[in-house]
């Protein structure tokens, strides 16, 4: 491989990695904002914001995997479950003995933001070459 092609490929990989990291940072800040908007508990908001992390896995010289980690309470809020509530076939039901007039509802704070941002990531992946494919099956929370 000639030095010019090697330099061009190296620059393309560095650009790809920086764009993926920038996408992750923008998506992370949007997720934090949407979580704060959707959650009523100040304590849960601050806990989620403080522990929210963007993680990327390198493979060779390029970013291979990008994901987000946060406390499981964020998943509970997303699904509308928790103490006295559970999911059954995609719906939230109360299983505790004491009925309540204030049923929980799922607060979709995660999936809509990531789905909105995925086309941008797809464009970034396409710029590197035809041999790459965006696999977004594990970045979203399961619907059911």
Map out the domains of the chain as residue ranges. 3-128
8-19: pLDDT as tens digits: 777 888 888 888
Q: How many angstroms separate the CA atoms of 139 and 27, rounded?
A: 12
Residue-wise pLDDT tens digits, 33-58? 887 777 777 777 777 777 888 887 77
For residues 64 and 83, give the distance between their C-alpha atoms in angstroms, rounded to a whole number: 37
Q: Is the pLDDT of residue 144 over 70?
A: no
Predicted confidence at residue 67, as pLDDT, reads 83
Separation CA 45–CA 64 (nearest Å): 30
pLDDT computed for residue 135 by the predictor? 78
Place of tokens 């995925």: 118
Considering the entire predicted model, what is its pTM? Answer: 0.77
pLDDT of residue 119: 92
CA nearest 46: which of 35, 60, 57, 56? 35
Q: In this model, does residue 133 exceed pLDDT 80? A: no
């Amino acid at each position: 491989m000639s030095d010019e092609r090697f330099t061009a490929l190296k620059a393309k990989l560095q650009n790809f990695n920086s764009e993926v990291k920038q996408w992750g940072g923008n998506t992370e800040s949007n997720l934090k904002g949407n979580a704060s908007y959707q959650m009523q508990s100040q304590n849960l908001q601050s806990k989620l914001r403080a522990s929210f992390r963007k993680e990327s896995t390198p493979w060779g010289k390029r970013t291979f995997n990008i994901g987000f980690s946060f406390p499981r309470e964020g998943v509970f809020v997303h699904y509308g479950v928790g103490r006295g509530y559970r999911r059954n076939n995609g719906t939230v039901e109360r299983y505790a003995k004491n009925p309540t007039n204030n049923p929980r509802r799922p607060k979709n704070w995660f999936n809509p933001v990531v789905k909105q941002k995925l086309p941008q990531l797809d464009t970034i992946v396409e710029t590197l070459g035809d041999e790459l494919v965006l696999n977004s099956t594990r970045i979203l929370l399961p619907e059911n």
